[in-house]
Amino acid sequence: MRIDGKGLIDRRKPISFRFDGQRYDGFAGDTLASALLANDIRLMGRSFKYHRPRGVLTAGSEEPNALVTTGLGPAQEPNVRATTLELYEGLMARSQNRWPSLGFDLMAVNDLAAPFLGAGFYYKTFMWPKAFWEKIYEPVIRNAAGLGALSGEANSDKYEKAFAHCDLLVIGAGPAGLWAAMEGARAGLDVILCDEDTQPGGRLNAETETVGGMAGAEWAASVVAELRAMGNVRIMTRTAVIGAYDGGTYGALERLAPEVAQRPGAARECFWRITAGQAVLAAGAIERPVAFRNNDRPGIMTAGAVRAYLNRWNVTAGRNIAVYGNTDEAHRSVRDLQAAGLHVSALIDARPHATCDLDVPFFAGAEVSNAEGRQALEAVEIRTAKGVEKIRAECLAMSGGWNPNVHLTCHMGGRPVWDRDIAAFVPQPGAVPGLHVAGAARGVFDTAGCLADGRRAARAALEALGRKAAEVDLPEAETARYDIWPVWAVPGKGRAWLDFQNDVTVKDVRQAAVENFRSVEHMKRYTTQGMATDQGKNSNVAALAVLADATGRGIPETGTTTFRPPFVPVSIAALGAGAQGKGFAPQRFTTSHDASVARGAPMIEAGLWYRPSYFPQAGETHWRQSCDREVQMVRRAVGVSDVSTLGKIDIQGPDAGAFLDMVYTGMFSTLKEGRVRYGLMLREDGYVMDDGTTARMGADHYVMTTTTAAAGQVMRHLDFVHQCLCPQMDVRFISVTEQWAQFAVAGPKARDLLTELLGADQVDLPFMGCGAVRIDEIDARLFRISFSGEAGYEIAVPARYGAALFERLCEMAEARDGGPYGMEALNVLRIEKGFITHAEIHGRVTAKDIGMGGMVSAKKDCVGKPMAARPGLSEDLREELVGLRPLGEIKELPAGAHLFDEGAEAMAENDQGYVTSSCYSPSCESVLALGFLKNGRARHGERVRLVDHLRGVDTICEVQDPVQFDADGGRMRD
């Protein structure tokens, strides 16, 4: 099926590949689709719903039919378009959505059931009997859903992400894009030219016309060579710009060439974020099919695709070809086919006024009404004024006109505008700030017009950037008037296909209108039109034209669906490049990690950090034994805990105090130097975001501590407050979490231990005091604060000294009958004292709910204060923080259990609250819990019912104050 003397492939470089296990040959420059056609393979896939035989329809990324699965095992990738898949040595591709084989697919029985599977059948069919849904309907639907499939194995392929900046971004390397890039480059701009194809040139690579006295492809190659020679131009082939975003930012997906991607350690794809001062969209247009009976047979293709396979890949789509269209594209196709020595059996032109000077059977004002054949086209029926004729053909090149690629212009809320002259939608001017549309993407369909339009768009961009264009004459090129006779669907019996991938027919769209799904968005969801992987690029306009006709409206009044990024499918691996394996959740280790592991501590995740759960000793066989010992150790002697994971933010500047007043509910500008204050932070909606302590190290210097879980969130919040709410404040802040290793030393013997380490003069701090200290000539910081309820300190040193300090502190603690304690004991200690963590401040509690309403200062404003005063957040019957102790025989109070009035049925309507944290307290010799209970602070001493349906717990407990150990706090102030 190769045509000698044509094409841009390299026939000196043969390539072998496999499709469905069979070996075939192609050449460098082929796509899988062109190579299969060259081997006379026309059946390439099966449709989604009816499993109808399908062949290639197009030659670009809009392809709906020829989807294949490539690779094996972890490298298996489904739904790859054969039209854009470059051929490479050893390629293994498989057809999909069929069983047991492509030629004999048992699921094609669905096609026989088509009368029962029309639009919306699932809404109507699976309603009765109700019990069948979970047991029969849903399993069957899920089993049949999807096209290709992943292997389920971990993918070890590498993906990358990158950032780029330029003065001018040109999207599309056809004639308009190439000339726009040339204008910008010659004016001295930094230019990035992106094109999703492997070879710049656009339609010039697929046509036989001349530009500047050269063949179109040769002219394009000469312009590309000139651009590559410039130091201010970057040409990115295989790169599809997939979305337009705020601030002149564009997303782009780059596919690496197969020979590069196959190298060890090389990336397969790279996701780019490109920021451009101005941009030119020259993305071309997509040829639309015509809907007629059986228009989905393998061998029926768009006319532009037939010319592309012929002129670029020197492949004929058939030996006997019929051509059907409603523009001069049909005549162009006949000329190219006949010039290549191919037989054209008929030219069918839907325009009644059309004339023809070609040596071919010509039918003006006619239409194709049916196609015959099953797994390959055999003949077409033509309806003329004289009746119906049958013409033998194994390929039909059809063209219903061209749709400008308006997608990117709609990604920021713009709506395309209907142009009656070209029977298509064109971009709304100014829909994306800084984006200028040119060429076929703007509805200009002749090459001379595209070149001139590319120059116009580039000069508009230059003007916006304050630059002047160089005067260069445009090359001579073909010019022609676009004459179209709109044809969307040919009337007649049988199914005429609109959405080839999702099997949506003209009848389906009309049925949607009959059932009052008159909105184009409702029709889309009812029929699944445009919801496949091709996003309806070939079918959306025809479908809404059919809907407009069915509802008696015009196409502009019917409107379009919403265009959303990405323009082409993007693998999640490319979007999340760097987040595979451990990159998905990077492991963060404290400086004491190795020492904790050496002591046998099981490590648990806290945020992204790994922290010791407990430190087992000889003879301890259960974690509770270790935990209870560590709690008693802290209460009776001294314990050491690594708290380096707490967020630490260094805040400096003349307005640092005022800034903290804005982000905290309390006053921090009045905090004295050398003192620490507990603070509560609200979100803008009035709910608690985080809590922690902030120390004033100097007049304009504060150190904020956040919880481990919210460290990143708080840092982002501070950035937001500074940039948006108080940009006038002279303050700077930076996260120093990793720069300081910090350890809590708690217990009655904590002061004694630190006196030995630092000297009595450095340890003599008041409660909630802080200061700079030195350890063996090393600068350090000491804070007298406690999260255990015991006399406690936290000592911080530069991270490089953390491991040594931890070992030293543990040795000194063990000499005093103490030692290290882990997260389990830390949790028990804080529950005994009623201290909160993110188990309690989980995102939907207020300061009043946790008993800290008094911390919201009346003397100043702060973030979240007005919203926290809303009636719904300040009413008396809200759930409030309480402590709980079991009274019944069952002593479990599991976190997540719900609370009910004693004697009330355990159902949602009677719900009174829930448990957030639970532990066994060796200090109180009882199970304790924290939770929230409606009007809880007024209900201390009451009995409530606790129910956990998941764990089968149902017991009675007593409501108490959250502080259930050392209520007056005397121990930590000693």
Could you tell me if residue 558 is inside a domain? no
Q: What is the mean pLDDT of residues 620-627?
A: 96
Could you tell me if residue 520 is inside a domain? yes
d(CA 639, CA 178): 71
**889 lies in the same domain as 971:** yes
Q: Which domain holds residue 537?
A: 487-553
pLDDT at 127 over 70: no
Q: pLDDT tens across 402-457, in order? A: 999 999 999 999 999 999 999 999 999 999 999 999 999 999 999 999 999 999 99
Q: Are 675 and 702 in contact (CB under 8 A)?
A: no
d(CA 861, CA 852): 16
The terminus-to-terminus CA distance of the chain in angstroms comes to 93
| Domain end among 400, 420, 455 | 400
d(CA 822, CA 615): 7
Model confidence band, residue 651 (pLDDT cutoffs 50, 70, 90): very high
Which CATH number is 904's domain given? 2.40.30.110
Q: What is the mean pLDDT of residues 911-917?
A: 97
Q: Are 499 and 543 in contact (CB under 8 A)?
A: yes
Element counts in the chain: helices (H) and strands (E): 27, 50
Could you tell me if residue 330 is inside a domain? yes
Q: Are 404 and 424 in contact (CB under 8 A)?
A: yes
Model confidence band, residue 122 (pLDDT cutoffs 50, 70, 90): low
Q: How many CB atoms lie within 10 A of CB 874?
A: 14
**210 lies in the same domain as 310:** no
| Domain end among 400, 425, 452 | 400
| 8-17, 87-96, 554-563, 751-760: the lowest-pLDDT one | 554-563
For residue 732, report the phi and psi dihedrals to the nearest 5 degrees: -135, 150
| 258-267, 399-408, 548-557, 747-756: the lowest-pLDDT one | 258-267
pLDDT at 120 over 80: no
**pTM of the entire structure?**
0.80
What secondary structure letter does DSSP report for 86? B
Q: What is the mean pLDDT of residues 792-799?
A: 97
One DSSP character per residue, 937-972 reads: GG-TT-EEEEEETTTTEEEEEEEE-S--SSTT-HHH
DSSP bridge partners of 81: 67
Could you tell me if residue 701 is inside a domain? yes
One DSSP character per residue, 398-413 reads: EE--EEE--GGGGTTS
**773 lies in the same domain as 645:** yes
Which CATH number is 537's domain given? 1.10.10
Q: Are 301 and 56 in contact (CB under 8 A)?
A: yes
Specify the pLDDT at position 265: 84
Q: pLDDT tens across 407-422, in order? A: 999 999 999 999 999 9
Could you tell me if residue 470 is inside a domain? no
pLDDT at 136 over 70: yes
Specify the pLDDT at position 48: 87
Could you tell me if residue 118 is inside a domain? yes
Model confidence band, residue 292 (pLDDT cutoffs 50, 70, 90): very high
Using a 10 angstrom Cβ sphere, with 0-12 exposed, 13-18 middle and 19 or more buried, the burial of residue 930 is: buried
Q: pLDDT tens across 505-532, in order? A: 999 999 999 999 989 999 998 898 888 8
Name every residue whose Cβ is closer than 8 Å to that of residue 324 and which is 6 or more positions away in sequence. Answer: 290, 330, 348, 350, 367, 368, 380, 396, 397, 398, 399
Q: pLDDT tens across 60-117, in order? A: 999 999 999 999 888 899 999 999 999 999 999 999 989 899 999 988 887 777 776 7
Nearest to 576 by CA among 159, 957, 240, 926: 159
**866 lies in the same domain as 880:** no
Kindly state the percentage of the chain with pLDDT values over 90.
Answer: 84
Q: Are 401 and 486 in contact (CB under 8 A)?
A: yes
Nearest to 850 by CA among 904, 917, 805: 917
Which CATH number is 202's domain given? 3.50.50.60
**695 lies in the same domain as 812:** yes
Q: In what order do the strands lie in the sheet with 77-81?
A: 22-28, 10-19, 91-95, 67-70, 77-81
Nearest to 954 by CA among 944, 965, 964: 944
DSSP bridge partners of 649: 704, 735
pLDDT at 119 over 80: no
Give the residue carrying structure tokens 């000297």. 759
**659 lies in the same domain as 716:** yes
Name every residue whose Cβ is closer than 8 Å to that of residue 350 and which is 6 or more positions away in sequence. Answer: 324, 325, 326, 365, 366, 367, 485, 487
Could you tell me if residue 806 is inside a domain? yes
H helix intervals, 770-886: 802-814, 823-832, 865-868, 871-874
Could you tell me if residue 812 is inside a domain? yes
Specify the pLDDT at position 205: 96
Q: What is the mean pLDDT of residues 635-664?
A: 97
d(CA 731, CA 561): 47
**712 lies in the same domain as 819:** yes
Model confidence band, residue 125 (pLDDT cutoffs 50, 70, 90): low
Name every residue whose Cβ is closer than 8 Å to that of residue 328 and which is 6 or more positions away in sequence. Answer: 480, 482, 483
**855 lies in the same domain as 950:** no
Model confidence band, residue 118 (pLDDT cutoffs 50, 70, 90): confident
| Domain end among 151, 176, 206 | 151
Whether the link from the prior residue into 566 is cis, omega within 30° of 0, is yes
pLDDT at 126 over 70: no
The token pair that represents 904 in the structure block: 């009330």
CA distances from residue 906 to 595, 761, 888, 912 in whole angstroms, order as listed: 48, 59, 17, 10
Whether the link from the prior residue into 129 is cis, omega within 30° of 0, is yes
Q: Are 451 and 210 in contact (CB under 8 A)?
A: no
Amino acid identity at 695: A
| 159-168, 282-291, 464-473, 856-865: the lowest-pLDDT one | 464-473
d(CA 479, CA 610): 68
b/e per residue 406-436 (b: at least 16 CB within 10 A): bbbbbbeebebebeeebbbbbbbeebbebbb
Which CATH number is 69's domain given? 3.10.20.440
pLDDT at 138 over 90: no
Q: Are 860 and 869 in contact (CB under 8 A)?
A: no
**769 lies in the same domain as 915:** no
pLDDT at 132 over 70: yes
Q: pLDDT tens across 31-51, in order? A: 999 999 999 999 999 998 889
**912 lies in the same domain as 841:** no
**85 lies in the same domain as 171:** no
Q: pLDDT tens across 661-712, in order? A: 999 999 999 999 999 999 999 999 999 999 999 999 999 999 999 999 999 9
Average pLDDT, the chain: 94
d(CA 743, CA 785): 11
**423 lies in the same domain as 374:** no
d(CA 108, CA 534): 22
Number of structural domains (the chain) is 6
d(CA 438, CA 436): 7
CA distances from residue 661 to 729, 858, 873 in whole angstroms, order as listed: 12, 12, 22
Q: pLDDT tens across 915-948, in order? A: 999 999 999 999 999 999 999 999 999 999 999 9
